[in-house]
Amino acid sequence: MTNHRIALIPGDGIGREVTPAACAVLSGIGARHGITFDYDEFDWSCARYRDQGAMMPENGLDRISGHDAIFLGAVGEVGVPDHVSLWGLLIPIRRRFNQYVNLRPIKVFEGVDSPVRGARSGEVDLVVVRENVEGEYSEIGGRSGQGTEAEMAVQEAVFTRAGVRRIAEYALRLAERRGGTVTSATKSNGIVHTMPFWDEIVAECAAGHPGVSLTSEHIDALCAKLVLNPARFDVLLASNLFGDILSDLTAAIAGGIGIAPAGNINPEREFPSMFEPVHGSAPDIAGKELANPLGAIWTAAMLLDHLGHTEAAVEVESAMRGVLAEARVRTPDLGGSATTGEFTKAVLEFTEA
């Protein structure tokens, strides 16, 4: 019997609806593989911010630093500025725990109609490797001249040699294992300092992986090519912002953003990694049992894999695949009428069958 301690942060909106789905699947699968989970649940959220003036307590990060992994639903609520909620919780976790890889796989599954004509199941199998702790997301900058015609805002992007190298190496090694290719997103034609620097370091790293072919594509053209021919891509390596945008795009290509999973990984395992679906708190559908729990369930599979339970992870993925292929039970975003709970139940029943 293996026991894991998980820090659970359901968060806001549909985060609170998809997190129980992930836990149900973890318990169901865990029971068959001799794995149990102890959850410490934290109410860190916009509701807490409204009540207590902070998304999490001052010692919040210390309280989750000893867990085997963190599972987060989603954060964000209308009425609380997004930069306040996200920089008060999600982004500090990624940074303090040096989760510099944001790993976002996506596939077109049998039984799911992609809105993209050329995206067929079995052919589209991508992984976005997103740099997760530096780049365009930075605290450096400020505003001045508030309220005057001369008002201005400056936001600095931060790219370090070590930061770019480690994410590039991660993507190249992943492509090596997959027998695939790396496409690096750039914008060196318009962004004259950081992006040529990114390109140079990525190319240097690629020279050490002769078995992996590396292509660099400007982000604008890459978005178009992904829609026109998603099957030709394998590992997409991107900076923080480009990776963020690419992962919603690739999720949509696979049928919708409710499907996509993510792992915020600290590869050295000095700190816990955090698992969360790619989507946000979806205030437009929250509280209605309409949320697709697939992204959260697939994320649970990534958590299992990260904790060394590869077989259990594969079983979760097979169950997801099976339910989708049967095409009976699906949530409204995928053209069905099942609730969050009904879809989760179908996945659980599939694993038990």
Please choose which of ligand NAD, ligand IPM, Mn ion, none residue 285 contacts, taking the beta carbon within 5 to 8 angstroms, the exact cut-off set by kind: ligand NAD
From the list 278, 301, 303, 324, which residue makes contact with ligand IPM (rule: CB under 6 A)?
A: 278
* Contact between residue 132 and residue 170 where contact means Cβ atoms under 8 Å apart: no
Pattern 239-268, binding to Mn ion, x per CB under 5 A?
Answer: -----x------------------------
Active site annotation includes 244: yes
Residue 22 lies near ligand NAD (rule: CB under 6 A): no
84 binds ligand IPM, rule: CB under 6 A: no
The residue annotated as part of the active site, out of 51, 220, 284, 288, is: 220
Q: Does 77 bind ligand IPM (CB under 6 A)?
A: no
Taking the least distance from each CB to ligand IPM, the nearer of 17 and 315 is: 17
Q: Which of 7, 22, 74, 338 binds ligand NAD (CB under 6 A)?
A: 74
284 carries an active-site annotation: no
**Residue 86 contacts ligand IPM per CB under 6 A:** yes
Binding residues for ligand NAD, how many (CB under 6 A)?
A: 21
Site residues (vs ligand IPM, CB under 6 A):
86, 90, 244, 278, 280
Site residues (vs ligand NAD, CB under 6 A):
14, 74-76, 82, 86, 90, 257-258, 276, 279-285, 291-292, 295, 333
Site residues (vs Mn ion, CB under 5 A):
244
Q: Which residues are catalytic?
A: 137, 187, 220, 244, 248
